[in-house]
A = this chain, B = another copy of it.
Amino acid sequence: MDSAQELIQTRGFSAMSFQDIAVMVGIKKPSIIHHFPSKTDLGRAVIARYHDLFKSALVHVQEDPEKTPWDALEFYFTPYLDFGDAGNKVCLCGALAGEFMELGETMQHEVQSFFIWHEQWLERILEAGHAAGHFKLNKHTSQFARTLLSALQGALLLKRVTRDPKQLEDVMQTIRELIAPS
């Protein structure tokens, strides 16, 4: 599943094959199919694992009373920054969004849930930070959460294309300045 996820993030779901994974893991193709009977099954499993990982990490930092909403937001950025070790990895679901119409209903649903959950998490964090006076925001919290998520996903794609790590850092810094109380 690690190999599958990496292949999706770097080359895309359509371009990923059982054979590619087999070579990376060191076993033969049918052995992989034994565990994931279809490509869709493998895709679903990878997305579900990815989603759960984010969920537990984000909920954890959100419920920690010692963490400010700023900490939560910075923590939200870090996994995206960490993708930078390879430099050519984007968010798993960002990659899948690019070939969304090719995914089949079940996987489409899973990607959709990922983004909807993320949008709502961001909105909650923003609202909590606003209520506590940490963030400066107008009333349209939901729209701003959408913009933030969009910008982050777009920045990851553009970072890979332009080969400029600053692409992501600039976007993050811009967001920080936009919500920092004057």
A146 at interface, CB cutoff 8 A: yes
In the complex, whether A15 has a CB less than 8 A from a CB of chain B is yes
Binds B, one of A21-29, A60-68, A109-117: A109-117
B residues less than 8 Å from A90 (CB atoms) = 98
Bound complex: CA A94 to CA B99 (Å)? 11
Let me know if A11 is at the binding interface, CB within 8 A.
yes
Q: Kindly report how many copies of this chain are found in the complex they form together.
A: 2
Interfacial residues of chain A within 154-182, with CB under 8 A of chain B in the complex: 154-155, 157-158, 160-163, 167, 170-171, 173-175, 177-178
- Give the chain B neighbours of A97 by CB distance below 8 A: 98, 157-158, 160-161
CA distance A12 to B98 in the complex (A): 7
**Among A30-38, A46-54, A75-83, A135-143, the stretch in contact with B:** A135-143
CB of A95 within 8 Å of the partner chain: yes
Chain B residues within an 8 Å CB radius of A12: 12, 14, 98-99, 102
Nearest CB of B to A88, in Å: 6
User: A3-16: contact bitstring with B at CB < 8 Å (1 yes, 0 no)?
Assistant: 00000001110110
Other than the known A12-B14, A146-B155, A150-B154, what 6 A-B pairs have Cβ atoms closer than 8 Å? A11-B101, A97-B98, A100-B160, A112-B163, A144-B174, A153-B157
